[in-house]
Structure 1
Amino acid sequence: MPKSFTRIVNLSQSSKWLDAALKTQLLPLLEDSFAGISGQDYLQKYFLKDGTFERKLRLYFDNEKLVGYCLLTFSKIDVDKKNIICIGASAAFYPAYRHGSNTIAFSVSEAVKYWLLHPWSSVCYADTMLSPAMYRAVAKKVAFIYPSAERVIPANLLALVKKLKEAFSVNLPAQVDIQGDSPFICFVGRKTNYSQSEIHSFRVDKKPEIQYYCQVNPNFDQGNALITVVPVNMRQMLEMIVKWIKQ
């Protein structure tokens, strides 16, 4: 039975951001959650590096101990001379505190909130997904997601994916070829710190979203990430409402 949180703290880059004490608490959580990158490098790249015009961070505590976080980054990507607002996400929890819906409600609500305040902007939840579980959690919540087995991605969003692949990819180690030729797959070097039994359980899982993720990104345990795009627009909102009612 997963443990519960005693309090939640919300921060934003534009108002109050990480202090030295919180950075110190984040480092062991990052080290525990990701392989292939140091906690300090991960902190610098996703929490502190320039390039985003806003960040939203939700911190989860068990009394005074930081046990999880969800980070959202807001950036502008130029695609065919038009800016698309891309909302990226990163999340990590100690194993005892992992719940399936820890971060989805926060991510969806912040994305919708931004779109409602900027209705004429092109807004997408767009990032690399290292985990079949995260892909399924998002796909179950939203109306439509790319890539998916049911829908073909529109040309403008495919152009965005190509831009993101250029931005996110790192060089493969010498004589290693695990990436494949899918436009949605990029080698990022880091990976979620799953055990071998957890990786096996994903590969034999019968849930459609897990099966699809493993089919499209079979080398997720070796540093490959799936570039995933969720448009945030009126069509998405209406179809999400219908989906939630049916569920």
Structure 2
Amino acid sequence: MYRSTVAGWTREEFEAEVIGADEIHLALFYDASDKLAGFSSAKVDRLSHEGRSHAVYCAFVYFLPGYHGGASASLFGLRHALRLKLREPRTRVAYFTRSSSPAVYHLLATTMPRLYPKRYTPTPIEVEALVDELSARRGYVQVGEHPWVVRSAAIPRGASRLRRIGQHPEVRFYTEINPRFAEGQALLTWIPLDAVNIVRGLLRAVRRRCAR
């Protein structure tokens, strides 16, 4: 399933990164005929920054070509984040990922009201510091002119098809920052998961799934 949509990891690297964590949350998605169509896995990094506890999600989502599972995967991740936030109200929760293609960033930007980087929105200094710390912890390597453009572990297949969605403002913003996504470069993306952002994201994801 991974290799049908992207390239980059060996089997051993995939298993270590995606399903090798001590604590991992896994969701399987099936189509109407009970055929496995995709899956999502999520794990949490814990860190302390300026005296505050942070829980930062790292998630992976893969679907077979032809399936549109972004809304279902978003609901899975947001429900987990909401449960964590309710259990630990003083912990700051966020989602941090490498957006490997314009389609990934577009899904995130149209689901979540607040994320970084974002058009016309300055990134808070605290978020920049957290991104730097987690990037170093995860071994991300900067490869682009923008400090948040790093080497990707998921090089998208069918890049010419992805470029056809370029009329969307979020996609244009992404490709201006990361024009070489088809060559294995990704844009770091940070989403604060406070209660308001989670609930508004859940509502958007529900509307998107109901519209299909």
Q: TM-score range by the shorter chain?
A: 0.7 to 0.9
CA RMSD of superposed structures (Å): 2.7
Conserved in 1, the CA contact under 8 Å of 2:7 and 2:157? no
Q: State, as a whole percentage, how many aligned pairs show the same letter.
A: 23
Instruction: Determine if the alignment matches structure 1 residue 221 to structure 2 residue 191.
Output: no
Instruction: Determine if the alignment matches structure 1 residue 40 to structure 2 residue 12.
Output: yes
Deviation at 1:65?
A: 4.6
Deviation at 1:116?
A: 1.6
Match of 1:197 in 2: 160
Match of 1:187 in 2: 151
Instruction: Determine if the alignment matches structure 1 residue 57 to structure 2 residue 26.
Output: yes
- Please, which moves more after superposition, 228-237 or 110-119? 228-237
TM normalised by structure 1 equals 0.72
Unaligned runs of 5+ in 2: none
TM normalised by structure 2 equals 0.83
Unaligned runs of 5+ in 1: 1-28, 173-178
Distance 1:78 1:197 in 2: 41
Distance 2:149 2:194 in 1: 25
If asked which structure has higher relative contact order (CA below 8 Å, sep 6+), I would say: 2
C-alpha change, 1:133 and 1:200, in structure 2 (3 Å) is closer
Any residues of structure 2 matched to 1:21-170 within 5 Å, and which?
A: 29-50=1-22, 54-62=23-31, 65-80=35-50, 82-169=52-139
Higher radius of gyration, 1 or 2: 1
C-alpha change, 1:155 and 1:122, in structure 2 (3 Å) is same
Conserved in 1, the CA contact under 8 Å of 2:21 and 2:43? no
Distance 2:60 2:169 in 1: 23
What secondary structure sits across from 2:19 in the alignment?
helix
C-alpha change, 1:49 and 1:100, in structure 2 (3 Å) is closer
What secondary structure sits across from 1:90 in the alignment?
strand
What secondary structure sits across from 1:167 in the alignment?
helix
